A = this chain, B = another copy of it.
């Protein structure tokens, strides 16, 4: 529990100073300026007073209860200081000092030493190389941090390893007119880590949204589990940097962590219910709305504009970002027609006209709030000098109190109407400068409403003979297992497969239903078709005999399998890879060129829900080839989804499987099923279940 970190009774600053350009001075000043409700204890070997407070020569001399020691002494002294803190019963040390694991082997050794001291005394370590924490709860008001932006209470909590980025989020949120609830920038995260802080923010009733910056991820399964739980209640917004190869290099020099592929991040976030944003600005714009507005029930936006051009911009951006224009009921249109001025336009987007006054705006908002077809309200307004815009602002603020749907306002104006903007903002309604921003924010909110629904979906199960499959695996050596074993595992999960059996030249089976395919079955042969390891269209026994002999000659000692030759159909690929430190990730794509040359695949983490499977199939670019068109019949999508779920089940049941590829499976027209014709399964080198 991090209560003592975010709600400390007392904070000692070890390395406090009277030099106003030092961090040790800044932290004391921040605590004083922001009226910290607990004790503030500057520690300095010689000074008797710092910023008007009594200073103590050592942490051991501090009288009051100290939950946090904020440490700014040089790195080599830190292990000893942590030991002293341990003796004093300090609960958390916030180590601002840098020069630890991020600086190479010597730093790492120092970090080990301080962690050693901390463990001996049960002191929790925050950092090192960290900026600190803040909690704007007026009962606490702790600013144990060396940065400079004033603290302003809000309902978004900020979590970012990098101090520079944490500050970027905070100060721009504040510029927009919002504040934060809690703030953590935890640097090297040696002990107190992202997941633990996430838990704490998740449990805080006053936090409505969590905004994160992620450079590197540790304990990804724990991250996913927490996010899935928290995201049902609070939106979690994230940006991940180090996306590009060039940036990855910079990240690894910056934090010592390796980047994982960007698409893997997407899969993790998708599974975790975390909303990924492309830019900081988009993320905090959305955070401002999440912190203040209810979550919309769906994607239908009602727009109220008093100028044509900006209204059209909103439509473009809303539709372009996946929202729908709400269709108003006849009742709504009648009420608008009756109450607005004659030049108004009462379809969506409503144009109340430039001359509209406060009552016109009030009526339009009320009508849209009452219309069940509207999920959210977007108001792009200009401020004509010939109407009383201040009154419009007051009306929006007043009406908003009774509105149950999210409202986003865009005021296109200059400093002369600053008070109009303030009036609206102080009613807790986000105001933005650009129509596009407002539209994107609503799109993000609708996306979150979808995520909530998605997180309620249960993992889909597939019946299977788990014990039987385990038995097969346990007998197989590590690495690629035989085709027949692999097909037997699929069969154990009732996956439709092409009949496949081992065959030897000496004794051809007596009954074979032709045509058949002959394949080599060897872990050493990766691209079977490229190397003559597949022979199709074998129609008679004599031809089979000949093919078996030829192939045995080509791959001496390798096993061969004979397989029913399935009719042609659409080829798909389903794969599973157990990503180190993450978990099983499934892949889906069309077979042939779509995957090979065009990399058109989708990824999702197991276990899949039914919805996940459906989305995984539909999200690839080549989906039109599956859903059918003029010359193409629709394929059996349900069979693909069922197969994905079976593979998901196998991934969950059998951790011994490191990777598997069903490549290809042949899908037939709607209702006619699917057949897996080739499969490769790789067994873990060491059995991860033991």
Contact = CB atoms under 8 A, between A and B. Distances in A.
Interface stretch (A73-81, A164-172, A202-210, A492-500): A164-172
Interface string A336-357: 0000000001000100000000
A242 to B, nearest CB: 6
Interface in A277-332: 278-281, 307-313, 315-317, 319-320, 325
Given A281-B437, A308-B164, A433-B172, A316 B241 contact: yes
A166 to B, nearest CB: 8
Contacts of A316: 241-244, 247
Contact of A414 (B174, B279, B414): B174
A629 B596 contact: yes
Contact of A167 (B171, B320, B382): B382
B434 A172 contact: yes
A324 to B, nearest CB: 8
A391 interface: no
A148 B593 contact: no
A162 B279 contact: no
A593 B386 contact: no
A352 B382 CA distance: 44
A213 interface: yes
A622 interface: yes
A437 B282 CA distance: 11
A167 B215 CA distance: 39
Given A279-B436, A307-B162, A312-B247, A21 B632 contact: no
Interface in A118-148: 148
Contacts of A688: none
Contacts of A382: 164, 167-168
Interface string A448-464: 00000000000000000
A311 to B, nearest CB: 6
Interface residues of A, number: 79
Contact of A436 (B22, B161, B281, B629): B281
Contact of A164 (B26, B309, B624): B309
A506 interface: no
A529 to B, nearest CB: 9
B625 A215 contact: no
Contact of A319 (B164, B244, B386): B244
A94 B202 CA distance: 59
Given A26-B385, A164-B382, A167-B412, A597 B632 contact: yes
A115 to B, nearest CB: 23
A621 interface: yes
Interface stretch (A250-258, A397-405, A652-660, A676-684): A250-258
Given A244-B315, A281-B437, 17 more contacts: A148-B414, A149-B414, A162-B307, A163-B309, A164-B412, A165-B313, A171-B413, A174-B414, A175-B433, A241-B312, A243-B316, A246-B325, A247-B316, A250-B315, A250-B349, A280-B434, A530-B631
The 5 closest A-B pairs by CB, nearest first: A162-B309, A164-B307, A597-B624, A165-B309, A247-B315
